[in-house]
């Protein structure tokens, strides 16, 4: 039995090594889609609906067609002949319904920003000039903007053929909720609102499609998280054999779940390349990004919790309402977020009496779908908000209250009332570590002392669980061609370098660095002898891509297994060459050594030389297999859950309602840590996005469905000056589902940060009997809670 990768000599696992691609990116030499220029390439700009809901009566494009540089103007009807519509439903989301969605609106537009006419020209500027000349006669239709009234009988139905505006409903009722409430010493309730917001990627959505009619080959350069998924979708809706479609995804400037969906304007771009038989590029600009990139988090959850005076949670009941825009997004659907809210409320705690209803409704706003930490920050805010309220109601310290309710560290595997099984979590170790890290008691004393001086600081805690390493239960079982498995191929080159190609993708988080570390450790070569290939459907093994915190856990295990298999193959050849038993040999730092003494036996490049150029010197039955592929899928659980806690320390200016973040702490358990720095920066970045939702980010809409702040001046992303220091510590409970033991970490920061901030604000406001529950916690909302304004 060889050593586990974790304790192999010269293992890179657990070490902060620089990212191989960092230098290139820092030098500005990355290759983003917009950097690629092809011969005969043209650009597309879209005329978009100015209305939230309107019928297209007539389109006049003569003037636009005659404008300088214009190649072609295409309407929805023409586009529909080339690109078939799609419907965003999944088989296992029972009852989920949606209407066919087209690449370009055909008869009517259903949200402000929907693409209506495509204008193709020699430059983007010319396309925009011509787009301004396209005249559309509109007939404005009723607008369903408010999700609260979307199901009322007097509200018109957006898609009459669906019968109503209900996309999906989930109802869950486990244990005895009535009994829990009847036995309660205290019942707390609140309506929690999370503001509609979006993931603002540094690189906007980008796509360049190149179609070769001679052999019906389509190459799509795409800023995406899931190249193989997109390959299927392009092939299906453009009527091409799947093997003729190649999706290449070079550098991606952030994705956060935004770039894992089917976007009408991107489908139109690819269809245009097929129609025009030449390369067509579309780079979303910032303003169209705001009205077309998926939004998320627009939820209103009415919730209550029953507790005993000993501080036990006796029951939780919640009602979630969310508006997802006019269509369920394809192919992952817009039911997942609400479904996750149902699955995650109460998640860290032992309570088994749980009832939750989620209603997902259509409305005439931009679509909503999965954004980093799908559903988590919503469920966490609800749960942790109630927990703090309950602790306050019975006069118990919130840390102590959590201690009494968190699932015990030795209770695993543990089945939650939702039916989800947790493999192994470490809530109590994490809580202890957090309180120590933040010096909880000292902080409480400081808070009390400052309160005397009229300075109002708050401490907020939030426990969370995170869905990572998904099995095929997430999408595959629902009929979506989204792969839960991933493959890795590693080849030993004659120079002793290993070339690793893998289905998971890099969007800036350091996937390639992690895969290189695992491959280097597993095979036994130094980092500078590893070359990575990702993001090309024609080259890499088939895989799902990077989303749902699966890159390290799924892709990493495939890489580990491929590396081990290659090492075994190499050692078998080496054994023959050196007349030694393979198990007495090892590969360390790129050198074949005697496993016991570490003495050098042969360099890898020497083995490569012989294997590739002088195989005649090897025995007849020795055929070196120096390229191997291994696949991995997590099959033991629906998801491998992780856990952690966050804490926020902040100050509320009770005169102005301004919140100043002072400190933030995270204790997280993602199992095996491959690269500590990358893990910590994933958490920090995630926390910042969570803080954005908590304090700043919101897609503001008017009553008639117009987005009011679709630009970077008015949509407030979190910026460095407002961010606190974020201290991070870890508890390590490796998953037993893989040899690597790594769980995901990409969404943990975002999951818990808003709840921690909310609880801290409410802690600060508690002397005033005031509290907030609607994110973002703007100065105006805080002032209103304090009764300073109406």
Partner 1 sequence: MKPTPFGYVKAASLPQALDLLARHGEEAQILAGGQSLIPTLNMRLSAPRLLIDISGLADLSGIAVAGDILRIGALTRHAEVEKSELVARHAPLIAAAMPHVAHPAIRNRGTFGGSLALADPAAELPACCLALAATMIVQAPSGSRRIAARDFFKGLFETALEAGEVLTAIEIPIAVPGQVFAFEELARRHGDYAIVGIAATARKAADGTLSDIRLAYLNLESRPVLAGKAAAALAGTTGDAAAVTAAQDALAGEASPHADLNATPETRLHLARVLLGRAVARLIA
Nearest to partner 1 of 661, 667 (CB atom):
661
End-to-end CA distance of the chain: 71
Cα 650 from chain centroid? 27
Nearest to partner 1 of 134, 342 (CB atom):
134
Under 8 Å CB-to-CB from 41, ≥6 apart: which residues? 208, 278, 279, 280, 281
CA separation for the pair 560, 515 (Å, rounded): 9
Using the contact rule CB under 8 A, the part of the chain among 280-288, 338-346, 466-474, 514-522 near partner 1 is: 280-288
According to the binding rule CB under 8 A, does residue 452 interact with partner 1? no
According to the binding rule CB under 8 A, does residue 721 interact with partner 1? yes
398: helix, strand or coil: helix
According to the binding rule CB under 8 A, does residue 714 interact with partner 1? yes
According to the binding rule CB under 8 A, does residue 451 interact with partner 1? no
Under 8 Å CB-to-CB from 448, ≥6 apart: which residues? none
What are the angstrom distances between the C-alpha of 73 and each of 266, 471, 675?
16, 44, 50
Nearest to partner 1 of 212, 709 (CB atom):
709
The number of C-alpha atoms within 13 Å of 333 and in the hemisphere containing its C-beta is 31
CB of 230 to partner 1, least distance (A): 25
Length of the chain, in residues: 790
Which of 2, 581, 780, 787 touches partner 1 (CB under 8 A)? Answer: 780
For residues 314 to 343, the per-residue mask of contacts with partner 1, x marking binding by CB under 8 A and - elsewhere, is: ------------------------------
CB of 656 to partner 1, least distance (A): 6
Sign for the pseudo-dihedral over CA of 405, 408, 411, 412: positive
CA separation for the pair 503, 774 (Å, rounded): 40
Tokens of 394: 């019975």
Which of 700, 725, 767, 787 touches partner 1 (CB under 8 A)? Answer: 700
According to the binding rule CB under 8 A, does residue 656 interact with partner 1? yes
Nearest to partner 1 of 145, 530 (CB atom):
145
CB of 366 to partner 1, least distance (A): 17
Strand order in the sheet with 245-248: 70-75, 115-121, 42-48, 280-283, 206-212, 217-222, 245-248
According to the binding rule CB under 8 A, does residue 655 interact with partner 1? yes
Nearest to partner 1 of 128, 164 (CB atom):
128
H helix or E strand, kind and range, residue 650: strand 640-652
CA separation for the pair 350, 786 (Å, rounded): 34
Cα 278 from chain centroid? 33
Backbone torsions φ then ψ of 663, nearest 5 degrees: -150, 155
* 8 Å CB contact between 346 and 387: no
Which of 129, 651, 669, 739 touches partner 1 (CB under 8 A)? Answer: 129
- CB neighbour burial string for 291-301, b if at least 16 within 10 angstroms, e if fewer: bbbbbbbbbbb
According to the binding rule CB under 8 A, does residue 287 interact with partner 1? yes
Which of 2, 31, 132, 617 touches partner 1 (CB under 8 A)? Answer: 132
According to the binding rule CB under 8 A, does residue 265 interact with partner 1? no
Q: 776 preceded by cis ω (within 30°)?
A: yes
Tokens of 90: 């999944």
Using the contact rule CB under 8 A, the part of the chain among 195-203, 264-272, 533-541, 654-662 near partner 1 is: 654-662
Using the contact rule CB under 8 A, the part of the chain among 21-29, 170-178, 219-227, 777-785 near partner 1 is: 777-785
Nearest to partner 1 of 200, 301 (CB atom):
200
Nearest to partner 1 of 734, 776 (CB atom):
776
According to the binding rule CB under 8 A, does residue 445 interact with partner 1? no
According to the binding rule CB under 8 A, does residue 358 interact with partner 1? no
Using the contact rule CB under 8 A, the part of the chain among 1-9, 10-18, 324-332, 714-722 near partner 1 is: 714-722
Sign for the pseudo-dihedral over CA of 169, 174, 180, 186: negative
196: helix, strand or coil: coil
CA separation for the pair 459, 513 (Å, rounded): 36
Nearest to partner 1 of 85, 779 (CB atom):
779
Tokens of 304: 């209550």
For residues 200 to 239, the per-residue mask of contacts with partner 1, x marking binding by CB under 8 A and - elsewhere, is: ----------------------------------------
Using the contact rule CB under 8 A, the part of the chain among 279-287, 392-400, 578-586, 677-685 near partner 1 is: 279-287
Question: Which ranges of 630-789 would DSSP assign to H, the alpha helix?
Answer: 676-691, 748-765, 779-785
H helix or E strand, kind and range, residue 447: helix 440-452
CB of 711 to partner 1, least distance (A): 7
At which residue do the structure tokens 């309402």 appear? 321
Using the contact rule CB under 8 A, the part of the chain among 256-264, 459-467, 591-599, 708-716 near partner 1 is: 708-716
Which of 583, 719, 725, 767 touches partner 1 (CB under 8 A)? Answer: 719
Restricted to residues 679-698, the positions that interact with partner 1 (CB under 8 A) are: 696
CB of 722 to partner 1, least distance (A): 6
Nearest to partner 1 of 539, 700 (CB atom):
700
Nearest to partner 1 of 571, 661 (CB atom):
661
CA separation for the pair 592, 524 (Å, rounded): 9
CB of 716 to partner 1, least distance (A): 6
For residues 88 to 127, the per-residue mask of contacts with partner 1, x marking binding by CB under 8 A and - elsewhere, is: -----------------------------------xxx--
According to the binding rule CB under 8 A, does residue 285 interact with partner 1? yes
Using the contact rule CB under 8 A, the part of the chain among 78-86, 171-179, 480-488, 715-723 near partner 1 is: 715-723
Nearest to partner 1 of 348, 692 (CB atom):
692
Q: Say if strands 600-603 and 186-194 run parallel, antiparallel, or are unpaired.
A: unpaired
* 8 Å CB contact between 592 and 586: yes
127: helix, strand or coil: helix
According to the binding rule CB under 8 A, does residue 716 interact with partner 1? yes
Where would I find the beta strands (DSSP E) of 84-225? Answer: 108-109, 115-121, 135-140, 166-174, 186-194, 197-198, 206-212, 217-222
Which of 34, 35, 78, 128 touches partner 1 (CB under 8 A)? Answer: 128
Q: How many residues make contact with partner 1 (CB under 8 A)?
A: 31
Tokens of 683: 């958490």
Q: Would you tell me which residues interact with partner 1 (CB under 8 A)?
A: 123-125, 128-129, 132, 285-287, 655-656, 658, 696, 700, 708-709, 711, 713-714, 716, 718-719, 721-722, 778-780, 783, 788-790
């Amino acid at each position: 039995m060889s050593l586990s990768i974790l304790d192999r000599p010269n293992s890179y696992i657990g070490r902060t090594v620089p990212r191989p691609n960092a230098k290139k990116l820092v030098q500005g030499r990355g290759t983003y889609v917009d950097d690629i220029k092809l011969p005969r390439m043209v650009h597309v700009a879209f005329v978009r609906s100015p209305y939230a809901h309107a019928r297209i009566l007539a389109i006049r494009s003569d003037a636009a067609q005659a404008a300088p540089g214009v190649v072609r103007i295409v309407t929805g009807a023409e586009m529909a002949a080339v690109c078939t519509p799609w419907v965003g439903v999944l088989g296992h989301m029972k009852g989920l319904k949606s209407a066919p969605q087209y690449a370009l609106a055909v008869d009517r537009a259903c949200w402000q920003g929907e693409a209506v006419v495509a204008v193709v020209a020699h430059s983007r500027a010319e396309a925009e000039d011509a787009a301004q000349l396209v005249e559309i006669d509109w007939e404005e239709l009723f607008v369903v903007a408010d999700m609260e009234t979307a199901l009322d009988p007097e509200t018109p139905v957006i898609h009459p053929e669906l019968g109503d505006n209900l996309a999906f409903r989930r109802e869950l009722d486990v244990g005895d909720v009535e009994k829990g409430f009847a036995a309660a010493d205290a019942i707390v309730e609140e309506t929690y609102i999370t503001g509609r917001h979006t993931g603002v990627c540094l690189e906007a959505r980008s796509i360049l499609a190149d179609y070769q009619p001679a052999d019906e080959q389509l190459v799509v350069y795409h800023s995406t998280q899931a190249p193989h998924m997109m390959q299927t979708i392009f092939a299906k809706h453009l009527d091409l054999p799947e093997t003729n479609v190649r999706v290449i995804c070079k550098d991606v400037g952030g994705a956060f779940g935004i770039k894992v969906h089917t976007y009408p304007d991107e489908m139109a771009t690819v269809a245009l390349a097929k129609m025009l038989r030449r390369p067509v590029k579309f780079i979303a600009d910032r303003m169209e990004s705001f009205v077309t990139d998926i939004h998320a988090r627009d939820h209103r959850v009415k919730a209550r919790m029953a507790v005993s005076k000993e501080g036990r949670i006796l029951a939780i009941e919640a009602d979630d309402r969310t508006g997802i825009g006019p269509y369920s997004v394809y192919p992952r659907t817009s039911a997942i977020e609400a479904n996750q809210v149902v699955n995650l409320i109460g998640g860290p705690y032992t309570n088994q009496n749980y009832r939750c209803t989620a209603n997902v409704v259509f409305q005439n706003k931009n679509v909503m779908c999965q954004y980093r930490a799908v559903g988590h920050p919503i469920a966490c805010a609800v749960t942790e908000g109630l927990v703090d309220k309950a602790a306050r109601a019975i006069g118990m310290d919130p840390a102590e209250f959590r201690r009494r309710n968190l699932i015990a560290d030795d209770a695993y595997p543990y089945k939650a009332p939702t039916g989800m099984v947790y493999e192994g979590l470490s809530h109590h170790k994490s809580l202890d570590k957090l309180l120590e890290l933040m010096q909880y008691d000292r902080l409480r004393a400081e808070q009390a002392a400052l309160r005397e001086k009229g300075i109002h600081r708050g401490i907020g805690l939030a426990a969370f669980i995170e869905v990572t390493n998904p099995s095929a239960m997430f999408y595959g079982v629902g009929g979506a061609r989204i792969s839960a498995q991933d493959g890795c191929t590693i080849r030993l080159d004659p120079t002793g370098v290993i070339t690793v190609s893998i289905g998971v993708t890099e969007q800036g988080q350091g996937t390639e660095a992690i895969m290189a570390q695992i491959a280097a450790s597993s095979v036994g070569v130094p980092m500078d002898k590893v070359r990575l290939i990702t993001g090309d459907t024609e080259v890499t093994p088939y895989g799902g891509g990077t989303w749902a915190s699966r890159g390290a856990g799924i892709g990493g295990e495939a890489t580990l297994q491929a590396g081990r298999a290659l090492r075994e193959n190499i050692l078998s050849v080496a054994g023959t060459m050196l007349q030694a038993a393979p198990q007495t040999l090892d590969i360390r730092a790129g050198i074949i050594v005697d496993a016991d003494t570490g003495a050098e036996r042969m360099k890898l490049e020497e083995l490569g030389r012989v294997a590739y150029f002088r195989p005649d010197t090897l025995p007849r039955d020795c055929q070196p297999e120096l390229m191997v592929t291994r696949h991995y899928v997590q099959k033991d659980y629906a998801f491998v859950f992780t856990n952690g806690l966050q804490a926020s320390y902040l100050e509320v200016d009770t005169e102005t309602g301004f919140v100043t973040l002072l400190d933030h702490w995270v204790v997280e358990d993602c199992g095996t840590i491959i690269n500590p720095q990358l893990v910590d920066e994933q958490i920090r970045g995630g926390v910042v996005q969570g803080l954005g939702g908590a304090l700043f980010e919101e897609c503001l809409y008017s009553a008639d469905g117009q987005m009011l702040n679709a630009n970077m001046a008015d949509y407030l992303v979190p910026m460095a000056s407002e961010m606190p220091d974020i201290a991070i510590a870890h508890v390590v409970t490796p998953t037993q589902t893989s040899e690597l033991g790594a769980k995901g970490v990409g969404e943990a920061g975002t999951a818990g940060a808003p709840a921690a901030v909310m609880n801290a604000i409410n802690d600060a406001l508690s002397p005033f009997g005031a509290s907030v529950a609607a994110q973002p916690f703007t100065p105006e909302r805080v002032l209103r809670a304090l009764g300073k304004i109406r």
